[in-house]
Amino acid sequence: MSAEIVNLRLARKHRDRSAREDEAARNRLLHGETKAQRIQNRLTAKKTKRDLDARKLDASRESPPIIDETL
pLDDT score recorded for residue 59: 62
Residue 61 counted as domain residue: no
pTM for this model (two decimals): 0.43
pLDDT score recorded for residue 31: 86
- How does pLDDT run across 38-47, given as a tens digit for each residue? 899 999 999 9
- How does pLDDT run across 13-64, given as a tens digit for each residue? 999 999 999 999 999 888 888 889 989 999 999 999 999 998 887 766 666 6
Residue 19 counted as domain residue: yes
Residue 67 counted as domain residue: no
For the chain, the three-class secondary structure string (H helix, E strand, C coil) is CCCCCCCHHHHHHHHHHHHHHHHHHHHHHHHCCCHHHHHHHHHHHHHHHHHHHHCCCCHHHCCCCCCCCCC
Q: Which domain holds residue 26?
A: 9-53
8 pLDDT band, cuts 50/70/90, is: very high
Residue 3 counted as domain residue: no
Number of independent structural domains in the chain:
1
Residue 2 counted as domain residue: no
Residue 34 counted as domain residue: yes
